[in-house]
Chains A and B, each alone.
Chain A
Amino acid sequence: MSANSTSIAMEAPVEMQIQEIAFDGQETYAPSLSMSENLTKLAQKIDFAKCGPEEVNKEITEINRNEDEAEQSTAPPIWPWDSVRNKLRNALTEVSVLADLLTIAKGKKYVVLDPVPHDPPELKPMVMVYARKKSFAGAASVLLSGAERLKNSLAEAQKNRTTTADFHIELLRLRQNFRLKKVNNTIIGDLSYFRSSGSKHIHSGTFEVTKSEEEPDKLLSPPCSPNPNSANKLTSALRVTVPGELQGIASIKVYFQKDQDSLYSSNLNTPDTAFSIPEIDWQRKLEVAQNVLFCKEMFNQLAKEAVQLQSPIPHVVVGNQIIASIFPGVQLVICLSHMEMSTDGKASLPPPIPRHDQVLEHTLHQLLRELHEKKNYPLPHPASAPLGPSRKRSCAGPYAMDREEFVEMTESQTMLEQVIQQAQHTQLRDRTLCILDKLATQYKDPLISVHWLWLNSPTYACIKVTIFAQGYDEIYRNLVIIHVYDTYLKCISRDGKVVHLSYESMELKNYILCQICRHQIMAVQYLAKSMGWQCVANSFNLGSGTLIETFGNASSCILVSPVGDRLISIHCDQNSRVQVSVAQTPRKDFFPGQLVKERKWENLGNSFKEVQWEKMIGKNFLSKMELLMTSLTSSWMQ
Chain B
Amino acid sequence: MGVTILLSYPVPENKTGPQTVDLLIKRIGALGAVQSGQFLVDCETFSSGPTMGGPPRTVHVLHNSEQPAAVFALLESPGPPPKTVPLVADGLFDLLMLKMSSIYASKKQTRMEARGTRFEIADFLVKIGTVTMSSNFKGVLVEVEYRPCFIAGNCWELMREFMQSFLGSVVQNTPPPYFQVHNRLNDVYQPLDTIQQYLDHFASYRKVAGL
Contact = CB atoms under 8 A, between A and B. Distances in A.
10 contacts: A382-B92, A385-B92, A396-B69, A397-B69, A397-B88, A397-B89, A397-B92, A400-B191, A401-B69, A406-B69
| Count class of interface residues, chain B | 10 to 19
B1 interface: yes
A387 to B, nearest CB: 13
A398 interface: yes
Contact of A402 (B1, B72, B91): B1
A385 B69 contact: no
Contact of B192 (A382, A394, A400): A400
Interface string A392-433: 011011111111001000000000000000000000000000
Interface string A354-390: 0000000000000000000000000000101100000
A403 B88 contact: no
Contact of B89 (A384, A398, A402, A406): A398
Contacts of A397: 69-71, 88-92
A396 B92 contact: no
A14 to B, nearest CB: 98
Nearest to B190: A400
Interface string B60-94: 00000011111110000000000000001111100
A399 B72 CA distance: 11
Closest 5 pairs (CB-CB, A-B): A397-B90, A400-B191, A396-B69, A400-B70, A400-B67
Contact of A403 (B68, B92, B190): B68
A396 B191 CA distance: 13
Nearest to A381: B90
Contacts of B191: 400
Contacts of B67: 400-403
A557 B170 CA distance: 59
Contacts of A406: 68-69
A391 to B, nearest CB: 13
Contacts of B72: 400
A181 to B, nearest CB: 39
B92 A401 contact: no
Contacts of A403: 66-68
B88 A400 contact: yes
Contacts of B89: 397-398
A625 to B, nearest CB: 48
Interface in B91-107: 91-92
A385 B71 CA distance: 15
Nearest to B71: A397
A398 B90 contact: yes
Interface in A586-600: none
Interface in B30-57: none
B198 to A, nearest CB: 14
A53 to B, nearest CB: 108
A13 B202 CA distance: 128
Contacts of A401: 67, 69-70
Contacts of B192: 400
A403 B72 CA distance: 16
A402 B90 contact: no
Contacts of B70: 396-401
Contacts of A394: 90
A91 B89 CA distance: 91
Given A398-B88, A398-B90, A399-B88, 12 more contacts: A385-B90, A393-B69, A396-B70, A396-B90, A400-B1, A400-B67, A400-B88, A400-B191, A402-B66, A402-B67, A403-B68, A406-B69
Most A CB contacts (10 A, CB to CB) among B69, B88, B92 go to B69
Interface in B105-163: none
A382 B92 CA distance: 9
Contacts of A384: 92
Nearest to B65: A403
A400 B192 CA distance: 8
A397 B87 CA distance: 11
Which residue among A385, A393, A402 has the maximum number of chain B CB atoms within 10 Å of its CB?
A402
B46 to A, nearest CB: 19
A13 to B, nearest CB: 102
Contacts of A398: 70, 88-90
A259 B38 CA distance: 52
A484 to B, nearest CB: 27
Interface string B1-44: 10000000000000000000000000000000000000000000
Contacts of A382: 92
Contacts of B71: 397
Interface string A45-79: 00000000000000000000000000000000000
A382 B93 CA distance: 11
B199 to A, nearest CB: 15
Nearest to A396: B69
Contacts of B68: 403, 406
B197 to A, nearest CB: 14
Contacts of A402: 1, 66-67
B16 to A, nearest CB: 31
A90 to B, nearest CB: 84
Q: Which of A384, A400, A402 has the most CB of B within 10 A?
A: A400
B145 to A, nearest CB: 10
Q: Which of A385, A393, A398, A406 has the most CB of B within 10 A?
A: A398
Contacts of A396: 69-70, 90
Interface in A233-259: none
